[in-house]
Amino acid sequence: MVDSQSAMLSLDIARLRADYRAGHRRPSAVIEEILSRIAARGDDGVWISRVSDDALRADAAKLDLRLGEDPLVLDREPLFGVPFAIKDNIDIVGLPTTAACPTYSYQPTRSATAVERLCRAGAIAIGKTNLDQFATGLVGVRSPYGVARNPFDPAFIPGGSSSGSAVAVSAGLASFALGTDTAGSGRVPAGFNNIVGLKPTVGLVPTTGVVPACRSLDVVSIFGLTVPDSLAVLAVAGGFDADDIYARAAPLGYAARLCAAPASFRVAVPRPDQRQFFGDADARDMFDAALARLAALGAAFVEIDYAPLAEAAAVLYSAAGVAERTAALDAFVAQHAEALHPVTRRIIEGGRGASAVDVYKARDRLRALGRHAEAIFTDADMLVVPTSGTIYRVDQVLADPVQLNSNLGHYTNFVNQLDLCALAVPGGFRRDGLPAGITLIAPPFREPQLAAVGQAFHRAGGVPLGATGAPQPEITLSDSPASYPSLDVVVLGAHMQGLPLNRDLQALGARYVADCRTAARYRLFRLPGGGVARPGMIRVAEHGTAIAGEIWRLPTAAVGPFLASIPQPLGLGDIELSDGRRLKGFLCEAVATQGGEDITRFGGWRAYLASLP
Position 3 confidence tier, pLDDT thresholds 50, 70, 90: very low
How far separated are the first and last CA of the chain, in Å rounded?
Answer: 74
Contact 156, 92 (CB under 8 A): no
120-158 burial: b if 16+ Cβ within 10 Å, else e: ebbbbbbbbbbbbbbbbbbbbbbbebebbbbbbeeebbb
Which of 170-184, 188-202, 550-564 is predicted least confidently? 550-564
Q: Does 105 qualify as catalytic in the annotation?
A: no
Q: Tell me: pLDDT of 595 over 90.
A: no
Contact 257, 448 (CB under 8 A): yes
CA–CA dist 41, 54 (Å, integer): 19
Please tell me which residue in 10, 28, 49, 87 is annotated as part of the active site: 87
Q: What is the 3-state secondary structure (H, E, C) of 488-509?
A: EEEECCCCCCCCCCHHHHHHCC
With residues binned 3-state (H G I as helix, E B as strand, rest as coil), the percentages for the chain, rounded to 5, are 40, 20, 40
The number of CA neighbours under 13 Å toward the Cβ of 555 is 18
User: Which one has a higher pLDDT value, 316 or 311?
Assistant: 311
Choose among 585, 581, 586: nearest CA to 259. Answer: 581
Contact 87, 15 (CB under 8 A): no
Please tell me which residue in 175, 185, 221, 388 is annotated as part of the active site: 185
Q: What's the residue count for the chain?
A: 613
E strands in 413-547: 421-429, 435-442, 486-491, 511-517, 522-526, 535-539
Tell me what the mean pLDDT of segment 289-300 comes to: 98
pLDDT in tens, 338-355: 999 999 999 999 989 889
Tell me what the mean pLDDT of segment 178-184 comes to: 97
* Eight-class DSSP state of 65: H
Q: Does 128 qualify as catalytic in the annotation?
A: no
- How, if at all, do strands 299-304 and 265-270 pair? parallel
Q: Tell me: pLDDT of 1 over 50.
A: no
pLDDT in tens, 186-225: 999 999 999 999 999 999 999 999 999 999 999 999 999 9
Edge-first strand listing for the sheet containing 535-539 = 535-539, 522-526, 597-598
Tell me what the mean pLDDT of segment 451-470 comes to: 96
Cis ω before 262 (30° cut-off from 0): no
Which of 51-65, 161-175, 271-285, 355-369 is predicted least confidently? 355-369
Choose among 424, 401, 402: nearest CA to 411. Answer: 424
Structural domains of the chain in order of their starting residue, each with its CATH number: 4-461 (3.90.1300.10), 486-611 (3.10.490.10)
Position 320 confidence tier, pLDDT thresholds 50, 70, 90: confident
Q: How far is CA 552 from the centre of its chain?
A: 25
Choose among 248, 222, 202, 181: nearest CA to 419. Answer: 202
Q: Does 161 qualify as catalytic in the annotation?
A: yes
Instruction: Give pLDDT, residue 482.
Output: 58
CA–CA dist 390, 140 (Å, integer): 15
Taking the alpha carbons of 342, 386, 194, 211 in that order, is the dihedral positive or negative? positive
Tell me what the mean pLDDT of segment 102-118 comes to: 98
Instruction: Give pLDDT, residue 423.
Output: 98
Which of 70-79, 271-280, 324-333, 459-468 is predicted least confidently? 324-333
pLDDT above 70 coverage of the chain, percent: 98
pLDDT in tens, 214-255: 999 999 999 999 999 999 999 999 999 999 999 999 988 888
CA–CA dist 294, 603 (Å, integer): 35
Tell me what the mean pLDDT of segment 353-373 comes to: 92
Please tell me which residue in 161, 162, 175, 486 is annotated as part of the active site: 161
Instruction: Give pLDDT, residue 318.
Output: 85
Contact 221, 198 (CB under 8 A): yes
pLDDT above 90 coverage of the chain, percent: 86
Q: How far is CA 465 from CA 267, 331, 462, in A?
A: 26, 42, 9
Using CA atoms in the order 38, 41, 45, 50, what is the torsion angle rounded to 10 degrees? 10
Tell me what the mean pLDDT of segment 86-110 comes to: 98
Over the chain, what is the mean pLDDT?
94
Contact 192, 435 (CB under 8 A): yes
228: three-class secondary structure by DSSP: helix
pLDDT in tens, 369-397: 999 999 999 889 999 999 999 999 999 99
Instruction: Give pLDDT, residue 545.
Output: 97
Give every CB contact of residue 420 below 8 A, 6+ residues apart in sequence.
Answer: 373, 414, 441, 442, 443, 444
Contact 339, 100 (CB under 8 A): no
Contact 150, 157 (CB under 8 A): yes
pLDDT in tens, 127-166: 999 999 999 999 999 999 999 999 999 999 999 999 999 9
CA–CA dist 376, 250 (Å, integer): 22
